[in-house]
Amino acid sequence: MRYLRVPREITLADLKAKDTSWSAGMYRRVEIPASNTFAIRDLIAGYDKGSDPGSMYYMEKSTHHFIRTKSLQAHSYLISSKGGAITPINPRVFEDMSLTDGDILLSKDSNIGECAMVDGATWRNHTLSGGIVRLRPSINRHYLFGFLKHELFKTELLSMVPRGATIAHANKLWLDCRIPFPGQRDANEVVTYVAALTEVVVEKEKRSAPGTTKSTHRLKLSWRPTKRARHSNTPTRHWMTYAPRPGSTQGFIAGVSALSSIV
């Protein structure tokens, strides 16, 4: 919670919005050390919400499956199937979401703030629970996904969610969470770096051998220029010095810090 702060001063409007409460905790908010931020609602073309068929339609085996909120975990950039996170359901109640490679899934209920990316074309017979939304980004999807995996996003979202409920619900509050962007002249280059680093983590996790754990798997880049990279001016040294764990977004932000301090 290192981004959550109590402001040094408040306005009369802030006081009125909190019903004139003088409790310092009521005014805690996330301070993003970047002047250029945008709400998620301004960075997506829309989103698709899943639905709950009801436990009566769960089956032991089926050709169709139901992705639950616990399939989105902080330590993984991809969907997890462990612990009953994916449940077989009756095909008659299956809602075709047409999940495709690269789709971003976000949990807004229960497992609040966790997200994952769909990998490959094997998820067409899977649908989403009502607590999960699929984002349709209008910006670089890997840049957005990288910051959704960052501590900053979850800290801000959790600070908005009402406390005390047995099962927490973020409803549409996640749309108001902010994503930082660089504001200097080489802003586009920085966005490209962050997006590229996120993509590398995702691809590395896709290729991880079965049984690899988050504590032992480390991403070690021996950067080799692809056809696209050979025709760019990307300095190779920044790619070669980056080596975070698959779930360590803090690591990839640190890797970009040599280029720009944006968080």
Q: What is the pLDDT of residues 198-233, one digit of tens each?
A: 999 999 898 874 544 443 344 444 334 344 443 444
Contacts of 257 (CB under 8 A, 6+ apart): none
List the beta bridge partners of residue 97. none
What local confidence, expressed as pLDDT, does residue 119 receive? 92
Greatest pairwise CA separation for the chain in angstroms: 60
Residue 60 has phi, psi (to 5 degrees) of -75, -40
**Mean pLDDT, range 163-189, rounded to an integer:** 81
How far is it, in rounded angstroms, from Cα 249 to Cα 148? Answer: 9
Mean pLDDT of the chain: 78
Query: Which pLDDT score is estimated for 185?
Result: 84
pTM of the model: 0.75
Going along the chain from its start, the domains and CATH numbers come out as 4-31 (no CATH), 41-180 (3.90.220.20), 187-256 (no CATH)
Nearest to 99 by CA among 126, 67, 130: 126
Alpha carbons 72 and 112: distance in angstroms, whole number: 9
Tell me what the mean pLDDT of segment 56-66 comes to.
93
One-letter identity of residue 136: R
Work out the average pLDDT over 18-34.
75
Amino acid at 207: R
| pLDDT exceeds cutoff 90 at 91 | yes
Work out the burial of residue 213: count CB atoms within 10 Å of its CB; fewer than 13 is exposed, 13-18 middle, 19 or more buried. Answer: exposed
143: three-class secondary structure by DSSP: helix
72 Cβ contact partners less than 8 Å away, ≥ 6 residues apart: 79, 80, 105, 106, 107, 111, 114, 115, 116, 132
Structure tokens that stand for 132 in this block: 């999960």
Confidence of residue 1 (pLDDT cuts 50, 70, 90): low
Is the model more confident about 179 or about 4? 179
Beta-strand pair 64-67/126-128: parallel
Give percent of the chain with pLDDT exceeding 90: 43
Read off the tokens for 99: 């999940």
Contact 41, 176 (CB under 8 A): yes
Q: Phi, psi at residue 6, to the nearest 5°?
A: -95, 125
- 252 burial class (0-12, 13-18, 19+ CB within 10 angstroms)? buried
pLDDT tops 60 at residue 251: no
